[in-house]
């Protein structure tokens, strides 16, 4: 039986060694084209869940299927944007962006072309020759996103990528991320502490409770794409914000 979900999670559990269970009994199905945010209190395992989907760590229990394969086998479909920009400090911006292409064996000319396009998409064409230490936090994160996009992933996983940035930069990058998704669609998984961010970006918000991490509730965000900055001031948006905030507070007890 073909499974329509792109990512299917069944009774997923995770513990490290003999430690406490970080995640316990998760069931989740994510369709192609969705944008799912994970929020919850500290220790709820949302980052761990993201890393399980990415195949950076293995489940202790249960099943995790990505496009019909194990996450490790599905790596070509995915890319990860880390909490820290995670750039190679000894390489310039262009070289950092082309890294995944270089490692998978693309030829130089093709790499150059792709890198130029990605830098254009994130608005950093003028910074191709700079070194990471010369960039601001926001710029570094954009390089990281450009790098992730260079392989045209079907699934993009982002682990609190904008957490270290100020609110204005964060809002702007949120808008840019959605704009990119408009042109080159991907299924998104996003971990954040910011309720506003979750509501703005997502089709669905999964709220996790802690100790162990379980899905407490799921909130749908039905606004159509493309979403613009003005959306944040509308009444329906504020309503979704309130619902989500309430769900989060409930889980914190």
Chain positions contacting other proteins, by CB under 8 A: 54-56, 75-76, 78-80, 82, 84, 86, 88-91, 99-100, 102-104, 131-133
- Of residues 189 and 237, the one with the C-beta less far from other proteins: 189
- Of residues 112 and 217, the one with the C-beta less far from other proteins: 112
- Of residues 51 and 214, the one with the C-beta less far from other proteins: 51
Q: How far is the CB of 75 from other proteins (least distance, A)?
A: 5
Q: How far is the CB of 36 from other proteins (least distance, A)?
A: 19
- Of residues 87 and 251, the one with the C-beta less far from other proteins: 87
- What lies within 8 Å, CB to CB, of 48 at 6+ separation is 14, 22, 23, 57, 213
- Of residues 144 and 209, the one with the C-beta less far from other proteins: 144
Q: How far is the CB of 157 from other proteins (least distance, A)?
A: 9
- Of residues 10 and 83, the one with the C-beta less far from other proteins: 83
Q: How far is the CB of 204 from other proteins (least distance, A)?
A: 24
Q: How far is the CB of 234 from other proteins (least distance, A)?
A: 37
Q: How far is the CB of 109 from other proteins (least distance, A)?
A: 20
Question: What is the 3-class SS of the chain, one letter each residue?
Answer: CCCCCCEEEEEEEEECCCCCEEEEEEEEEECCCCEEEEECCCCCCHHHHHHHHHCCCCCCEEEEEECCECCCCCHHHEEEECCCCCCCCCCCHHHHHCHHHHHHCCCHHHHHHHHHHHHHHHCCHHHCCCCHHHCCHHHHHHHHHHHHHHCCCCEEEEECCCCCCCHHHHHHHHHHHHHHHHHCCCEEEEECCCHHHHHHHCCEEEEEECCCEEEEEEEECCCCCCCCHHHHHCHHHHHHHHHHHHHHHHHHC
List the structure tokens of 80: 């990860």
Q: How far is the CB of 58 from other proteins (least distance, A)?
A: 12
Torsion of the alpha carbons at 157, 197, 244 and 236, rounded to the nearest 10: -120
- Of residues 99 and 216, the one with the C-beta less far from other proteins: 99
List the structure tokens of 229: 């900055």
């Amino acid at each position: 039986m073909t499974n329509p979900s792109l990512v299917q999670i069944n009774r997923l559990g995770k513990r490290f060694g003999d430690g406490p269970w970080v995640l316990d009994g998760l069931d989740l199905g994510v369709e192609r084209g969705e944008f799912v945010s994970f929020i919850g209190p500290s220790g709820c395992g949302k980052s761990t869940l993201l890393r399980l989907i990415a195949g950076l760590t293995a489940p202790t229990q249960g099943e995790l299927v990505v496009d019909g394969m194990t996450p490790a086998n599905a790596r070509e479909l995915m890319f990860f944007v880390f909490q820290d920009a995670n750039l190679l400090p000894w390489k310039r911006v262009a070289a950092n962006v082309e890294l995944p292409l270089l490692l998978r064996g693309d030829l130089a000319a093709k790499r150059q072309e792709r890198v130029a396009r990605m830098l254009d998409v994130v608005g950093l064409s003028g910074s191709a020759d700079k070194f990471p230490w010369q960039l601001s936090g926001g710029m570094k994160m954009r390089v990281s996103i450009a790098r992730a996009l260079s392989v045209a992933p079907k699934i993009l996983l982002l682990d609190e990528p904008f957490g270290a940035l100020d609110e204005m930069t964060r809002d702007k990058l949120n808008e840019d991320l959605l704009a990119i998704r408009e042109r080159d669609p991907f299924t998104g998984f996003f971990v954040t502490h910011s309720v506003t961010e979750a509501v703005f970006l997502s089709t669905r918000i999964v709220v996790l409770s802690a100790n162990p991490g379980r899905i407490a509730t799921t909130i749908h965000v039905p606004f159509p794409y493309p979403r613009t900055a003005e959306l944040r001031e509308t009444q329906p948006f504020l309503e979704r914000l309130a619902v989500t905030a309430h769900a989060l507070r409930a889980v914190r007890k």
